[in-house]
Amino acid sequence: MTPLLEMRGLRKRYGGRVVFDIPSLTLEAGESYVVMGDNGCGKTTLLRVLAGLEPADAGEYRFEGKPVPLQPYPEWLRRQVIYVHQHPYLFRTSIAHNVAYGLRSRGLSRADCEAKVREAMEWGGVAHLADVPPHRLSGGEKQRVALARVRVLEPKVYLFDEPTANLDQEGRAMTIELIQRLCSANNTVLVACHDHEIIRLPHMHRLHLAGGAIRVEPARGQAEASGDDLVPV
């Protein structure tokens, strides 16, 4: 099966510092991945480069087997690879308007958006908050609105930056459950975080970023079966 996303020779520098230099990285459809590493190791930068929010200094990119230029980053690919910030911004309008924002920006009519937005709000467990001003939502509620807003766009690659940071236990649990439910046979989820509950999820492929290099650690259950330790990606 053709990988969903392939990167070769992906390199990023800030001045004289190499943030990362990754010979190869492959994300498969139907799989979930977590990027681990110390603060400042480049996890967020990697996600932003993959989403086209920051340029890479070098690298080859393939999406569903097709070569894609990284500069300029294609607009059509921005619809397929979506990055969700650690602290998602919500407009001071309604919850439905926030969830519908991406659809409306793509030119869908209000009528075409309504059913999709309603279903996404139900999925995210925020339909009952429809009349609550966004600034009155808890951190967990805001994160669930952000998850519903990205899910309604149906991208192929979801990129999440510390999605459970600063959430209480209930908010973390609900966010983790929704992230697990996002991954399907046709897409992939990549999470950058320190959250051990996410890192230890079954079937979560663990990518360790350190010293500018990235290695993969077998998912729970795979390591025991294979006896492998960290191996190069």
Q: Which residues pair with 204 in a beta bridge?
A: 32
| Residue pLDDT, tens place only, 35-47 | 999 999 999 999 9
Cβ-based burial of 136 (10 A; exposed 0-12, middle 13-18, buried ≥19): exposed
CA separation for the pair 43, 38 (Å, rounded): 9
Q: pLDDT digit string (tens) for 137-181?
A: 999 999 999 999 999 999 999 999 999 998 999 999 999 999 999
User: Is the peptide bond between 23 and the residue preceding it cis, with omega within 30 degrees of 0?
Assistant: no
Per-residue model confidence (pLDDT) at position 173 = 96
Residue whose entry in the numeric block shows the structure tokens 């958006």: 113
Residues 86-125: tens digit of each pLDDT: 998 999 999 999 999 999 999 988 888 999 999 999 999 9
Q: How many Cα atoms are found within 13 Å in the side-chain-facing hemisphere of 91?
A: 11
Give the separation between CA 94 and CA 139, rounded to whole angstroms: 16
pLDDT in tens, 211-233: 999 988 877 655 444 444 333 33
Q: Could you state, in order of their start, the residue ranges of all structural domains in the chain?
A: 5-90+156-232
Locate tokens 């990167």: which residue? 7
pLDDT, mean of residues 23-27: 94
Rg, the chain, Cα only? 18
**Cβ proximity of 32 and 203 under 8 Å:** yes
pLDDT for position 221: 56
Architecture of domain 5-90+156-232: 3-Layer(aba) Sandwich (3.40)
Q: Please state the pTM of the whole predicted model.
A: 0.91
- Which pLDDT belongs to residue 119? 96
**Nearest CA to 88 among 34, 130, 46, 151?**
151
Percent of the chain predicted with pLDDT > 90: 77
